[in-house]
Amino acid sequence: MADSLSTGICRKTRSLDGEPTTMALASQSSRSGSRRAYMTSRRRRSRGRLFFVLIILAAIIGGGWWWFYADDGTAGSEPPVTREPATAVIEMPPKPTSPRRESLDPVTGDRNLALGNRDSRPAESSKASTATQKASARPAAPVEPVKKKPTTVAIPEPTEPTPVVPETPKKTAPTENDSESKIAKAMAARNKATMQLAEARNLAKQDPLEARKVLSEAWIGGLSEDDRKRAATLSRTLADRTLLMDPVVLGSPWTRTYTIQPSDTLGGIIYKQKVATSQSFISRINDLDDPNAIRANNELLLPNGRFHAVVDLGSRDVAVFQELDDGRRDLLLVMPIALGPNLQAGLDPNRDQVTGLYRVRPQGMRRNPSWKNPATGKMWRRGDVGNPVGEHWISLEALEKLDGTEDSRPPVVLHGTSPDHPIEVGQHPGLIAMKPADIEVLYLMLDTGDSTIDIRR
């Protein structure tokens, strides 16, 4: 019985493939399992410790490298560069992981035995890890940006230019050569004017427009006394043919035509067309008996520009010029004058006070004026027969002051004559006397606002 039991117990079991299987004892099974668990736990702990040590070493190396180059500003060899303000970067320490729960030894229950040989190195590693974490948690020192100093550009102050004082030309006494040169130039100009006068006389019949232009150039150029008289005679002929008596000349620059409208009046036409002369002068050149009796659709002749006069006290004549819109002045008519005693050369020490530019004084034109003879005191009433100043009176006012003073020049009067005091005598009791027909034409042509009279000697 015991043998059978012993045999039964010691009988080997067979596996499914028929191989005998050895059965371990209970005490052997328990010890074998405990050893396997111990070896497995130790291998796991070795791998975990190695991985943890590698992480700590990497953190130490990285933190030391960052700390060295962050604190050492001179480590780089490149010059400092202006950068944007750096934002301090704080590296957060790695999140501490809870230590893995250590298992006890399955046989003795000793924790140290389960962890294996536990010496001082893990403690040192733990201290180094703690120091690394503290160093990582330390905030980085902010890097102050390198500021560029603003470049100051010196702006030169504006300097005023040094005024240049023009040199006063030195007056030198005229030499004989200068006098001869002036005489030669005057003779050349006079010769040219004489030739132009001859040309104008030849053109007067066939081309009065061109003849009047050439005569204007000759008059301005300077003629002798005899040639001035010839030019004055020719000017009357050309004035009649181009404006006064027979002005129907095609292409004349001195006139234009206007077609009268049914509602027109002569005064209204003069205003709208800006005619710088009197209504009586328009009636005269158009041969109108009644200025108020103009008819619609008829042609009306109007002068262009405005009229000016030049009184030459030395040559004793009045030249009337017609100024066009382009500023050109063409001679129209030359008329003789006589001077009163105050304007005679040698009689009035202040006679040069009357030379200058004048205009017609407002309300300065009068018909049949009253006049008092300054020499005898005799008074002539308006309309008296034999009045020495005639029937037309043109009072002038100066546009300029006396030289070097604020005093106005004395007034000047142009007037007519009477049969008892003809201008051919050369002296007149008035001021500037003209023939009755001539003063009438001048009286009609001159305009109060636009006309000027230049008195020369």
What average pLDDT does the segment 104-126 reach?
Answer: 46
The 10s digit of each residue's pLDDT in 323-370 is 998 889 999 999 999 988 877 654 455 556 788 899 999 888 999 999
pLDDT of residue 433: 93
Highest mean pLDDT among 46-60, 166-180, 251-265: 251-265
Is pLDDT at 132 greater than 90 in this prediction?
no
With a pLDDT cut of 90, the percent of the chain lying above it is: 37
Q: Are 386 and 420 in contact (CB under 8 A)?
A: yes
Helix (H, G, I), strand (E, B) or coil at 120: coil
Q: Are 393 and 385 in contact (CB under 8 A)?
A: no
Q: What is the pTM of this model?
A: 0.60
Amino acid at 234: L
What is the rounded distance in angstroms from the CA atom of residue 240 to the CA atom of residue 234?
Answer: 10
pLDDT of residue 152: 52
What is the rounded distance in angstroms from the CA atom of residue 114 to the CA atom of residue 106?
Answer: 8
Helical (H) or strand (E) element with 379: strand 379-380
Q: How far is CA 353 from CA 127, 362, 364, 414, 422, in A?
A: 124, 22, 20, 16, 26
**Which residue's entry shows tokens 């399955």?**
106
Is pLDDT at 162 greater than 50 in this prediction?
yes
Helix (H, G, I), strand (E, B) or coil at 218: helix
pLDDT of residue 123: 42
Is pLDDT at 136 greater than 80 in this prediction?
no
Is pLDDT at 395 greater than 70 in this prediction?
yes
What are the sequence ranges of the domains in the chain? 35-73+83-145, 307-457
Q: CATH classification of 307-457, choosing from 3.30.70.1520, 3.30.565.10, 2.40.440.10, 3.40.50.2000? A: 2.40.440.10
pLDDT of residue 351: 55
pLDDT band for position 411 (cuts 50, 70, 90): confident
Is pLDDT at 10 greater than 50 in this prediction?
no
HSE-up (13 A, CA, CB side) for residue 397: 9
Name the least confident of 74-83, 196-205, 268-277, 431-440: 74-83
Tell me, what DSSP letter sits at residue 413? E
pLDDT of residue 33: 52
The 10s digit of each residue's pLDDT in 20-32 is 544 544 444 444 4
- How many CB atoms are located within 10 Å of the residue 441 CB? 20
What average pLDDT does the segment 388-410 reach?
Answer: 85
